[in-house]
Amino acid sequence: MELEVQLNPLPGFPALEGAHELAWSYLLDALFADAYHAGVGRLEVVLPHPDLREGVGLRARLTPSSGDKTGLALLAPAPSGKADRVYTLEFGLLAPARLRRTKPTRPGKEPEGSLYVYTLRAKLAGLGMRSPNPAWADRAWRAVRQHFASTQSTPSFYRLLTWGAS
């Protein structure tokens, strides 16, 4: 898939470790899977952090063009443009205030799909992972995974919205 990447670093954006590394696997996989099946051949992505470049580039390399449609992924603030498929990222209740204040771009009224990632339930379950007892820590990790993402509205750190043509 043809890829164009722009960077718009967001102050206060978390390091891509632990829960955030897992969160971005959900977000980027959902984005690229949708783009592939929607027939996107060229994707323009605006990233909030330079460390995301590798994951985006790798997925683009592993995803063949499946059509001649265009995609635009606004994962950081940028002017909205014309595209057949648009993806926007918003920050939910679990994100720091400075990220929540980032003005979201909404190219329409109702998105076709929503993905809530790194949910409150997962964050609470994750407290048990600090247990010195490895069995308890393993159980907590399993609970984190069970509740980490949802397509239903729920308090979360990230929210990925998928839109039709803009």
Q: Which residues bind other proteins (CB under 8 A)?
A: 22, 25-26, 29-30, 32-33, 36-37, 54-55, 58-59, 61-64, 133-135, 138, 145-146, 148-152
**9 vs 113 by CB, closer to other proteins:** 113
Rounded least distance, CB 123 to other proteins, Å: 15
Give CA angle at 42 (109, 115), nearest 5°: 40
Q: List b or e across 87-110, with b for residues whose CB sees 16 or more CB atoms inside 10 angstroms.
A: bbbbbbebbeeebeebeebbbeee
Please check whether residue 116 is in contact with residue 92, taking contact to mean a CB–CB distance below 8 angstroms: yes
DSSP state of 10: P
Rounded least distance, CB 122 to other proteins, Å: 11
Residue 128 half-sphere exposure, CB side, CA atoms within 13 Å? 16
Rounded least distance, CB 38 to other proteins, Å: 11
**106 vs 139 by CB, closer to other proteins:** 139
Rounded least distance, CB 85 to other proteins, Å: 14
